[in-house]
Structure 1
Amino acid sequence: MARERATINIDIWSDADFRDLTAPAQSLYFKLTSHPKLDYCGCVEFHPGRLAAMSREMTSGDVMVAAQELSDKWFCVFDQSTDEVLVRSFLRHDGLMKQPRLAVSAAKAYGAIASNKIRAVVVHELQRFKRENPDLLAWEKPQVMTLLKQPAVSVRETRTDLEWDFPGFLPIHNLEATTDATANV
């Protein structure tokens, strides 16, 4: 069953970390959370050009800058080697783990994730959610029990340095290093 709606809690505007994001990073976050191909784990293909095409004024370079910011602030986990991105808090906030059948759908979606880094973060987030909500019926489902036994890594133990493959484009976070290097010349 395909997802038909995206759940965005309005208390996101009470989150100081979210409010500290730039407008392009917030926009990309909302694009990802409402993307029609977002799976039940919160994972979707990462194609900067396609994401940029969803807004008139956004370029692939803009998407990359916003993506790096979301990665640096641990809102998303990107793996360019598999062209995937995970909206880290999706499983925690979408409410699907409160519905045992959808929890099974999430476990099945986990099997389709190619990135080992993203898979490990999904498991960690699910284990964390289980500690906070131990009485959910989802934890009794065999597929979910199997998922919980997989390798887990906290998002804070991951690092994503996105590669910028756009001619003539110099990412902001590399601009300082270039400026410093040329200042000594």
Structure 2
Amino acid sequence: MARDRANISIDIWSDADFRDLTPQAQALYFKLVSHPKLDYCGCVEFHPGRLAAMSREMTSGDVMVAAQELADKWFCVFDQTTDEVLVRSWVRHDGLMKQPRLAVSMAKAYGAIASNKIRAVVVHELQRYKKENKELPAWEKPQVMTVLKQPAVAVRETKTELTWDFPGFLPFTDMATTNATGNV
């Protein structure tokens, strides 16, 4: 069964960290959460040009700036080597673990993630969620148990430095802080 909706809790507006994001970062977050190709782990391909095309007057550079902000604030995990992004708390907030069949779908989606960095964060988030919700029948599913045994890394132990591959684009006006590859 394919996803046909995005569950976004109105509690998001109670989160001081989310409210501290720029409007561009919030907009990118909502694009990712509601993206039609977002899988049951909260992972989707990361193509700045395609994401920019989803809004009028947004550029790939705008997406990259917002993406770096989401990474810096640990809302998302990006891996440019595999062109993937993870909405970190998606598994915890979507409610799919309350439905054992969807939990199996999540475990299958985990197997399709190419990035080891993202895979490790998914496992960590799943382990956190299990500690808070031990009673869920999803934890008994063999596929979910297999995922829980995989290497886990807390998002705060990851680092994302996105590469700016857009000719003529500099994310900040201070040229002294930008190196030759376009990293800040």
Match of 1:172, SS state, is: coil
2:78 partner SS:
strand
The match for 1:14 is 14
Does residue 95 of structure 1 match 2:95?
yes
Letter aligned with residue 172 of structure 1 = F
What is the RMSD of the two structures over their aligned residues, measured on CA atoms?
A: 1.1
**Cα distance, 1:88 vs structure 2:** 0.2
Is the helix fraction higher in 1 or 2?
Answer: 1
After superposition, what is the alpha-carbon deviation per residue over 1:47-78, rounded to whole angstroms, capped at 9, x for unaligned?
00000000011100000000000000000000
CA distance in 2, matches of 1:21, 1:37: 24
**Off by >4 Å, runs of 4+ in structure 1:** 173-176
Cα distance in 2 between the residues matched to 1:174 and 1:83:
28
Residue 176 of structure 1: how far off its partner (Å): 5.9
Equivalence map 1:29-178=2 (5 Å): 29-172=29-172, 175=175, 177-178=177-178
Distance 1:92 1:57 in 2: 32
2:38 aligned counterpart, secondary structure: coil
Residue 22 and residue 173 in structure 1: after superposition, are their counterparts in 2 closer, same or farther (change >3 A)? farther
Secondary structure of residue in 1 paired with 2:120: helix
Equivalent pairs, count = 178
Unaligned runs of 5+ in 2: 179-184
User: Counterpart of 2:155 in structure 1: which amino acid?
Assistant: V
SS in 2 for 1:77: strand
Percent identity over paired residues: 84
TM-score between the two structures when normalised by the length of structure 2: 0.95
Q: 1:107–1:143: 8 Å Cα contact kept in structure 2?
A: yes
- In structure 1, C-alpha distance between the alignment counterparts of 2:173 and 2:89, rounded to whole Å: 25
